């Protein structure tokens, strides 16, 4: 039991250690909605593996983290900011934005319209396939 807890704590330390680099990468703005001057936290894009992976982490504000808990339940304008982040130069940010749009496009036509203009290279297409928020 104690051992499991140590491992959990150790993992947590590694992930929060990414924060410094993520703050630089994001210029201290939420990487999805670009909010600044707010509390930002490291978010691991699921499925989360045992080994923390910096390239699958994004720096997010609390309101985005809340929205990601239930993508399907989002309201029409909740994710409008993805029109900006879908062009991010950071692959995992871009691909996460597109993943969300894919999951709301049947509900909101603006999301479908954005996706018509989206462009992914081969690596990004592969990365997109690995994301799974377990949306039912
Ligand atoms: Zn945000």
- Candidates 14, 55, 43; CA nearest to 6 is 14
* The token pair that represents 14 in the structure block: 């590694």
| pLDDT at position 3 | 77
pLDDT cut 70: percent of the chain above it: 99
CA of 15 to the centre of ligand 1 (A): 19
Contacts of residue 104, Cβ cutoff 8 Å, sequence gap at least 6: 71, 72, 74, 79, 111
CA of 44 to the centre of ligand 1 (A): 14
CA of 77 to the centre of ligand 1 (A): 13
pLDDT tens-digit map of 62-73: 999 999 999 999
CA of 125 to the centre of ligand 1 (A): 24
Residue with token string 């039991």: 1
pLDDT tens-digit map of 87-101: 999 999 999 999 999
CA of 4 to the centre of ligand 1 (A): 32
């Amino acid at each position: 039991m104690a051992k499991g807890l140590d491992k959990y704590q150790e993992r947590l330390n590694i992930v929060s250690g990414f924060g410094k680099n993520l703050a630089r990468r994001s210029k201290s703005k939420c990487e999805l909605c670009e909010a600044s001057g707010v509390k930002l936290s490291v978010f691991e894009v699921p499925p989360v593996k045992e080994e923390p992976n910096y390239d699958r982490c994004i720096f997010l504000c609390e309101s985005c983290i809340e929205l990601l808990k239930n993508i399907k339940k989002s309201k029409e304008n909740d994710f409008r900011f993805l029109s900006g982040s879908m062009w991010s130069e950071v692959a995992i940010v871009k691909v996460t934005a597109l993943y969300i749009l894919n999951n709301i496009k049947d509900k909101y036509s603006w999301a479908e319209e954005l996706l018509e203009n989206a462009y992914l290279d081969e690596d990004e297409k592969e990365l997109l396939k690995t994301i799974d928020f377990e949306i039912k």
